[in-house]
A and B are shown apart, each in its own frame.
Chain A
Amino acid sequence: MLFAIDFFVRRLAQGVVILVGVALLIFTLLRVVPGDPVRLMLGPMVSPSVAEETAKELGLRDPIIVQFGRYMSQVLRGDFGRSFVRSAQGGSTGGSRGESTFDASNRAPVIELIATTVPYSLLLAGLAFLISLIIAVPIGVWAGLNAGKWPDRAALYLSSILVSLPNVWLGLVFIFLLSVKTGWLPAIGYQGWTYAILPALVLAVELVPVIIRSLSVSVSANLLEPYVSVGQIRGLTRSRMIAAHVLRNSTIPLLNVLGIQAVGLLLGGLFVVEYLFNYPGMGLLMINAVFQRDFPIIQAIAIFSCAALVGVNILVDFASTTIDRRLQY
């Protein structure tokens, strides 16, 4: 118990440092890179003086470090600001307002926008995880048990090919073959959980090779460990040895891979796939925000996804130290 508290306190402190670093990086990049959000908010017809006034009102003309300090103190209070572009009633208002000054109170709070999209993204990510595990675990274990023989080579070639399929293109192929031609699955938008299947398949194709590789390597390495032959002397059957010991020991590297590589891949893939399928998750919100230079949304989503990644890493490390106490944190 003491171990767990010590572990979490240390790792959470490190995680907070990382998050502040990430926030600072994104914050600075957004403001250093050319592209004035006020122009997009108010449209091309606005006079320079009005634009300047709005920018001052939003605090966009202060030094970056002042802006960052203000932003972080807001975030600490749980306030991620309001969208530059989206109104509270939904829909974006950018560009159509002519001379009127910017109405600050009518903009949607970022936290609400994210809260409405996160469940969709979680459904998609969960489904993708499930599908990829169902496909990859049997293949990976089989390849690992037959290291050097043809199942191993077949798994190798399969994962090399799967890694080479660009997700944007694969998504279009799936839409064309499984939705347009055959009508088996719905593809664009969201009206029920079946709309998540096709995008999840695309994401799963990205995850499968990672899982196969990790599992086959660790299973075959574990089979060479002395405990396997000792177990045979103790009279355990090979299948029992594999099921009870080899697979259990092989899950530690898999957990690491799932935590670090797969969640990273999944997060990156979500943005592309949601955009491709017009799926109303966090990724689509992010990409639209980038096009509209909606800084508060971009910052908040960057921070959220990093927090997710850091959090998963901590949990994974905790899980693997509980499975194998020899691992030090």
Chain B
Amino acid sequence: MSEHAVIESGARVSTQPRSLGVSILYQAMRTTEFKVGAVIFIGLILLSVAAPSLLGLSPTKFNVALKFTPPWPVDGWVWPHFFGTDQLGRDLFVRSLIGLRNALMIGIASVIGMFVLGSAIGMLAGYVGGWTSLILMRITDAQMSIPIIILAITILGVSRPTPLTVILVFILAGWPGYARVARSVAMSERRKEYVRAAKILGASDLRILLIHIAPNILPPIAFVAVLDVARMMIFEAILGFIGIGIQPPTPTFGTIIADGTKYLLNAWWITTIPGLLLALALCSINFMGGALERSRNRVLQGVA
């Protein structure tokens, strides 16, 4: 969803002299993998908005008479459950789409959170330098040597998991990476001419940071953050699978897949369908994110 908005704004500004961010976007959008990814992604979003009401299906309404119906080409499938039903006769496709919506919401919210927090702290440390910077680096060192899974299962396993706590844990685990990158870029930016010029003209440090440095260094970091959305969605599924993600009855990929493991032998589709849908969504995000990352590298190398 956020990608969509970014694409539109990029297209509008492209006639003006291009800034760094816009030219990266422009380059990325011309690649095949970005287009493929965007088409799949937008298609999935539309589907998750439209399909439930079009087919007249509900993600939580169950119908025990229709339990364990297989997906479409297999004998015994029932209209309109093209993708089969689960152990309570709930439509798998609709449940997976709702799961996709939840996963995307968590992924995007947590990446925005870690991006804002990490780059704010990192920029500040890089700009101020000295002890602040050094302490920050040691903190990020320590935190980056804890695998995100350990942090997540420690906190969520012991406390009560809600969507908010899941997002907070992801932010807590993810911000150091952004802080490091923002710090190193801000450090090199601090010495550049335009910053010194702004200082001579009497701009305050906060103004320099927010109005001059941030627009220059943040877009490249933000583009790579798209890849992190996919990573967070995988983590969300993992947490749900272990049973420490968002709790039932809210459908998430993790809980649907975990439910399906009990019926793996006679109803393989309960785990397969949501997994395939998740993999497809992640693939589309990774295609777009990968294209953005590579065009960022190209543009940055060309500029430098």
Chain A contacts to B: CB under 8 angstroms: 14, 17-18, 21-22, 25-26, 29-30, 33-35, 156-157, 160-161, 163-170, 172-173, 175-176, 180, 264, 267-268, 271-272, 275-276, 286-287, 290-291, 293, 298, 301-302, 305-306, 309-310, 313
The 4 closest A-B pairs by CB, nearest first: A290-B157, A169-B275, A21-B142, A164-B282
Select A305's contact among B143, B147, B155, B280, beta carbons within 8 Å.
Answer: B147
Query: With a CB–CB cut-off of 8 A, which chain B residues contact A276?
Result: 241
Q: Give B288's nearest chain A residue, CB to CB.
A: A160
A290 and B154 contacting across the interface, CB-CB below 8 Å: yes
Q: Which residue of B lies closest to A181 (CB)?
A: B268
Q: Are A164 and B148 in contact, CB atoms less than 8 angstroms apart?
A: no
Would B265 and A293 count as touching, CB distance under 8 A? no
Complex: A35 Cα to B234 Cα, angstroms: 26
Q: Mark B131-155, 1 if CB is under 8 A from A, else 0.
A: 0000000110111011111110111
Residue B159 lies at the interface, judged by CB distance under 8 Å to chain A? yes
- Chain A residue nearest to B141 in the complex (CB): A18
Which of A34, A164, A291 interacts with B159 by CB under 8 Å? A34
Task: Check if A172 sits within 8 Å of B33, measured CB to CB.
Answer: no
Chain B residues closer than 8 Å to A18, beta-carbon distance: 138, 141-142, 145
Point out the residues of chain A lying under 8 angstroms from B160, CB to CB.
Answer: 34
Instruction: Report yes or no: B290 in contact with A160, Cβ–Cβ below 8 A.
Output: yes
With a cutoff of 8 Å between Cβ atoms, the chain B residues found around residue A34 in the complex are 158-160
A165 — which chain B residues lie within 8 A by C-beta?
A: 279, 282
- Asked if B60 is at the interface of the complex by the 8 Å CB criterion, the answer is no
Beyond the given pairs A164-B280, A167-B238, 20 more chain A to chain B contacts, judged by CB atoms under 8 angstroms and listed by A's residue number, are: A17-B142, A18-B145, A21-B138, A22-B143, A26-B150, A26-B154, A160-B286, A164-B285, A166-B282, A168-B254, A168-B257, A169-B257, A169-B274, A264-B147, A267-B149, A272-B149, A272-B242, A286-B153, A290-B244, A306-B145
- Given the interface contacts A163-B230, A287-B242, does A29 sit within 8 Å of B265 by beta carbon? no
Of all chain B residues, the one with the shortest Cβ separation from A169 is B275
Shortest beta-carbon distance from B283 to chain A in Å: 4
Query: Once bound together, how far apart are the Cα atoms of A119 and B271, in whole Å?
Result: 31
A26-B154 Cα distance, complex, nearest whole Å: 8
Docked complex Cα distance between A67 and B33 (Å):
53
What's the dominant secondary structure at chain A's contact region?
helix
Instruction: Flag whether B226 is at the interface (Cβ < 8 A).
Output: no
* Most B Cβ at <10 Å: residue of A14, A17, A165, A268: A268
Taking a contact as CB atoms under 8 Å apart, the answer to whether B278 and A172 are in contact is no
Question: A194: shortest Cβ distance to chain B, in Å?
Answer: 20
Complex interface: chain A residues within 8 A of B149 (CB): 267-268, 271-272
Is residue B264 within 8 Å, beta carbon to beta carbon, of the partner chain? yes
Contact of B279 among A17, A157, A166 (CB under 8 A): A166
CB-based contact A29/B154 at 8 Å:
yes
Which residue in chain B gives the minimum CB-CB distance to A292? B157
- Whether B159 lies near A302 (C-beta < 8 A) is no
C-alpha gap A164/B234 in the complex (Å): 8
Q: Mark B272-297, 1 if CB is under 8 A from A, else 0.
A: 10110011101101110010000000
Is B253 part of the binding interface, using a Cβ–Cβ cutoff of 8 Å? Answer: yes
Q: Which residues of chain B are near A164, meaning CB under 8 Å?
A: 230, 279-280, 282-283, 285-286
A268 in contact with B290 given A17-B138, A166-B279, A180-B265 (CB within 8 Å): no
Q: How far is the CA of A22 from the CA of B141 in the complex (A)?
A: 10
Whether A166 and B242, one on each chain, are in contact in the complex, defined by CB atoms closer than 8 angstroms, is no
Taking CB atoms, residues of chain B closer than 8 Å to A271 are 147, 149-150, 153
B144 and chain A: residue at smallest CB distance: A264
Q: Which residues of A contact B286 (CB under 8 A)?
A: 160, 163-164
B261 within 8 A of A: yes
Which of chain B's residues have a CB closer than 8 A to the CB of A29? Answer: 151, 154-155
A299: min CB distance to chain B, Å: 9
* Contact across chains for B275 and A173 when beta carbons are under 8 A apart: yes
* Cβ contact within 8 Å between B268 and A176: yes
Tell me, rounded to whole Å, the shortest Cβ–Cβ distance linking B111 to chain A.
Answer: 16
Residue of A nearest to B143 (CB): A25
Given contacts A169-B275, A271-B150, A286-B150, contact A291 B142 (CB under 8 A): no
| A33 with B147, Cβ < 8 A, contacts A157-B33, A164-B282, A172-B257 known | no
Which residues on A sit within 8 Å (CB–CB) of B154?
A: 26, 29-30, 290, 298, 302
5 contacts between A and B (CB under 8 A): A156-B33, A161-B283, A164-B280, A166-B279, A271-B149
Q: Mark B110-145, 1 if CB is under 8 A from A, else 0.
A: 000000000000000000000000000011011101
> Whole-angstrom distance from the CB of A143 to the nearest CB of chain B?
13
Contact with A along B222-263 (1 / 0, CB 8 A): 000000001000100110011010000000011001001100
In the assembled complex, which residues on chain A have CB atoms less than 8 Å from the CB atom of B147?
Answer: 264, 267-268, 271, 305, 309
Contact A35:B146 (CB < 8 A) given known A18-B138, A21-B139, A166-B237: no
CB-CB under 8 A from B278, the residues of chain A are: 166, 169
When distances are taken between beta carbons in the complex, the residues of chain A under 8 Å from B141 are: 14, 18
Query: Which A residues are in CB contact (< 8 Å) with B238?
Result: 166-168, 272
* Minimal Cβ-Cβ distance residue in A for B150: A302
B265's nearest neighbour on chain A, judged by CB, is A180
Q: Which residues of A contact B150 (CB under 8 A)?
A: 26, 267-268, 271, 286, 301-302, 305
Which A residues are CB-close (under 8 A) to B274? 169
Q: Tell me the complex Cα distance, A160–B146, Å.
A: 25
A18–B139 alpha-carbon span in the complex (Å): 8
Per the bound structure, the CA–CA distance linking A88 and B9 in Å amounts to 63
A267 contact set on B, CB distance < 8 A: 147, 149-150
Residues on the B chain within 8 Å of A309, using CB: 145, 147
